Amino acid sequence: MKFNPADQIQDLQYFGEFGGVNPSISDSSTYTFLSAKTMFDTFEGNAEGCYLYSRHSSPSNLYLGEALAAMEGTEAANVAASGMGAITPVLLQLCQSGDHIVSSRTIYGGTYAFLKNFAPRLNISTSFVDITNLEKVEAAVTSETKVLYCEAVSNPLLEVADIEALSRIAKKHNLQLVVDNTFSPLAISPGKLGADVVIHSLTKFINGSSDTVGGVTCGSQEFINSLRSVNDGASMLLGPTMDSLRAASILKNLRTLHIRIKQHSKNALYLAEKFEADGLKTVYPGLKSHPSHELYKAMMNEEYGFGGMLTIDAGSIDKANALMEMMQENNLGYLAVSLGFYKTLFSAPGSSTSSEIPEEEQKEMGLSDGLIRFSIGLDNDIHRTYEMMKSCMLKLDVL
């Protein structure tokens, strides 16, 4: 049967300590042992099911990790305090001084800043490439390259990575393919398409209520164990640990992710088609005009659609700002960064989330001044929302 990530989550069954329908929250940083020998074995990683100290693992964090591993179809997962708290330990675990990374040039601003400005301090260098140009990707690989890094659907330009083709390049050159799947949970399963490591910022769609930050790394048991190693694991030693209370609340939200993603996708497709028909420059992977529409279709778990993210070009930064302010005044959404909320969020990436990227490079990659990034919400009547958005656009001469 075809892999369906939501079914994998649904099949997991947990009970609380007193028969509760939700697992009990582990409210402890440290754990007792009946024998000193078991404590020693746990330190050595040889006591399955025993907990030692909550920076290493806790029952609540393991439940959430298990559910996310099931969702991505990987052996194991490790949750983190934020998306960046998942990304940076992965890169530092896979690379050491002298190593090289080939990365997509259109990635989350924080990841870009880490690779561009921080990793060089540790003598780890990065070549940024157009990830949709497979020849350029392969040409950037050197004998020092250890990691091929990309986002399944990129931020903010919604470029789509050909994960199977990238995985062939990675295997040929003995690289680890690391894919950030934050924009396309459920819809794309990078681990099933050949990615070695799949990362999410849980802050976005997966938690979905914009009340916490969180992250996860999904991969082989061996790699997840290495991240958690008390001797040299980057997650263990850098300490980006998620709190157990948060892990429990994110796990509950994960249970409704499939319903939310379908609604986000349905609403975003509706608006994208309308905006494009109105003559706005619209980017959405679900539109036939999107350069990677067919590729996305070939990779997707169909019922989850093309995701909740779209961009339009309002023509100039002034028009973009005026439109966002007017839409907010009309309660159509919030002028805010981040994504995956039940309400629509919009921002101008050039001057916000992607401002780490120098202006010249922004131009080169097609990140225009007037670009507005939308994370479309769970609106009940999306046609009504469209009519209200259109009236703002007409008033401001955007249309």
Ligand X SMILES: *Cc1c(COP(=O)(O)O)cnc(C)c1O
Q: Which of residues 298-317 bind ligand X (CB under 6 A)?
A: none
Work out how close the CB of 180 gets to ligand X at its nearest, in angstroms, rounded to a whole number: 5
Q: Which of 63, 108, 223, 346 binds ligand X (CB under 6 A)?
A: 108
310: buried, middle or exposed (CB in 10 Å: 19+, 13-18, 0-12)?
A: buried
Q: Is residue 110 near ligand X by the rule CB under 6 A? A: yes
Structure token digits, residue 195: 């990615």
Q: Is residue 114 near ligand X by the rule CB under 6 A? A: no
Pairwise CA distance, residues 370 & 373, whole Å = 10
CA distances to 57, 187, 218, 255 from 152, rounded to whole Å, are 28, 10, 14, 22
Q: Which of residues 139-158 bind ligand X (CB under 6 A)?
A: 151, 155
Work out how close the CB of 184 gets to ligand X at its nearest, in angstroms, rounded to a whole number: 10
Number of residues that bind ligand X (CB under 6 A): 16
Pairwise CA distance, residues 172 & 235, whole Å = 28
Q: Is residue 159 near ligand X by the rule CB under 6 A? A: no
Q: Which of residues 67-106 bind ligand X (CB under 6 A)?
A: 82-84
Nearer of residues 23 and 349 to ligand X, judged by Cβ: 349
Pairwise CA distance, residues 205 & 264, whole Å = 9
**CA angle centred on 164, ends 163 and 170, rounded to 5°:** 85
Q: Is residue 196 near ligand X by the rule CB under 6 A? A: no
Q: Is residue 65 near ligand X by the rule CB under 6 A? A: no
Q: Is residue 203 near ligand X by the rule CB under 6 A? A: yes
Structure token digits, residue 182: 């934050």
Q: Is residue 207 near ligand X by the rule CB under 6 A? A: no
Contacts with ligand X, 23-62, as mask; x by CB under 6 A = ----------------------------------------
Q: Which of 185, 201, 189 is nearest to 163 (CA)?
A: 189
Tokens 């998620």 sit on residue: 242
Q: Is residue 354 near ligand X by the rule CB under 6 A? A: no
Provide the 10 A C-beta neighbour count for residue 318. Answer: 12
Nearer of residues 167 and 184 to ligand X, judged by Cβ: 184
301, amino acid identity: N
Nearer of residues 9 and 213 to ligand X, judged by Cβ: 213
For the chain, count helices (H), then strands (E).
Answer: 15, 12
Residues making contact with ligand X (CB under 6 A): 82-84, 108, 110-111, 151, 155, 180, 182-183, 201, 203-204, 213, 215
